Structure 1
């Protein structure tokens, strides 16, 4: 119904983007407090077709920098957990219910490289703060740890750079695999309706009028 208020070019773009969207991979930001970094990761998720972004808040509130996000928040499904000590624990519990394998990131070269990670199962990639990395709880509870190979003196990448490198590697591998990584038709239709409601002005009024007209027709 809302599609009638969207231009043909926008409709075609939305269909194209939905065909490239995935929930086979998802990203978790654990207690990230730099708005610029958190926003950059959200933008990266949208660019690589990652639909869901999970945010845990233990000591810090999650904030978005609109100048960095550049509208990406309009297209991403954000799962934000309240600020409390068990924020990460609740997030991990929900991810496991959805059959995600939870993989933490670390600068340590003693763990597997991102090039070696098996992506057959749905995978949630967890990023910690630049200062402290993952919390002790997260390091102990993830199913595996991975690192991005580095060849210089610097100990680690900026979190937004790390997320971009990892997602580029994983998305590329998915697209050249036999893994079914695309959204289901139902998921695509649900997202399409959600996106329409965000870009169509007064979408709530259009939906209300549509439901009213439909009800009157059924009664008549």
Structure 2
């Protein structure tokens, strides 16, 4: 059964109205705002027959909580995350070699949102996360993802190591990141059916996750910092894969 959630911010609201209007239930706009971006969102909602309400800024502040709403909130029928059973059907439906992103225990919702946004831009077929000790699809994640949470399937699995073994049975190459890996990602093959695996903030890949990777690669670090934020590392890895796959 679908659940109801609210997304905030003009870009996230506009993206959903453009790409998934059937999931929009109620658009709430701030009274007194008549700038071009608000007008665009209003026009989109009117064209799709979506219910619209005008409320004062304090009411939008209350709805959005700590989030920055920019004068627009959209209540949507959220499909939420998908179960691992959806992964088989998704892979069967693809007509090109899959590119998957696996996040091993990323708990910061801002990082998950940023990873989803990058995954959408890079053409990732799905993002896979464990059910436990990992961020889920919250309003913060959706806001940071700028609409990508509505376009990239997020699949939660009970046992990540088992899922990686299953992906290998489907002839998908599993590449994990490790600061101590002897090979740079730039010297590694990232073409064909591929799953890129990144670890949690600070701790990296768990042992069983690492052991179920076909290869481990590192990102060259030329400065004094020892590692990159997981969302930044995701961008580096995915776009090297995009470069090679072109």
| TM-score normalised to structure 1 length | 0.63
**How far apart, CA to CA, are the structure 2 residues paired with 1:158 and 1:126?**
14
Structure 1, unaligned runs of 5 or more:
8-20, 176-220
* Aligned with 2:153 (options 77, 97, 115): 77
* Aligned with 1:137 (options 186, 194, 208): 208
Higher RCO (C-alpha under 8 Å, 6+ residues apart): 1
CA pair 147-60 structure 1, distance change in 2 beyond 3 A: same
- Alignment RMSD, CA only? 2.3
Aligned length: 153
The reply to whether residue 159 of structure 1 matches residue 230 of structure 2 is yes
Greater fraction helix: 1
CA pair 39-137 structure 1, distance change in 2 beyond 3 A: same
1:91 CA displacement: 1.8
1:152 CA displacement: 0.5
> How do residues 102-113 of structure 1 correspond to structure 2 at under 5 angstroms?
102-108=174-180, 110-113=181-184
CA pair 88-73 structure 1, distance change in 2 beyond 3 A: same
Residue in 2 that maps onto 1:118: 189
Greater fraction strand: 2
> How do residues 29-44 of structure 1 correspond to structure 2 at under 5 angstroms?
29-44=103-118
| TM-score normalised to structure 2 length | 0.57
CA pair 61-157 structure 1, distance change in 2 beyond 3 A: closer
Post-superposition Cα deviations, 1:22-45, rounded to whole Å, max 9, x if no partner, equal 653211011111111011101100
Instruction: Confirm or deny: 8 A CA contact 1:28 1:127 kept in the other structure.
Output: yes
**How far apart, CA to CA, are the structure 1 residues paired with 2:96 and 2:220?**
25
1:137 CA displacement: 0.7
* Aligned with 2:121 (options 47, 63, 68): 47
Q: Counterpart of 1:28 in 2: which secondary structure?
A: strand
1:61 CA displacement: 4.6
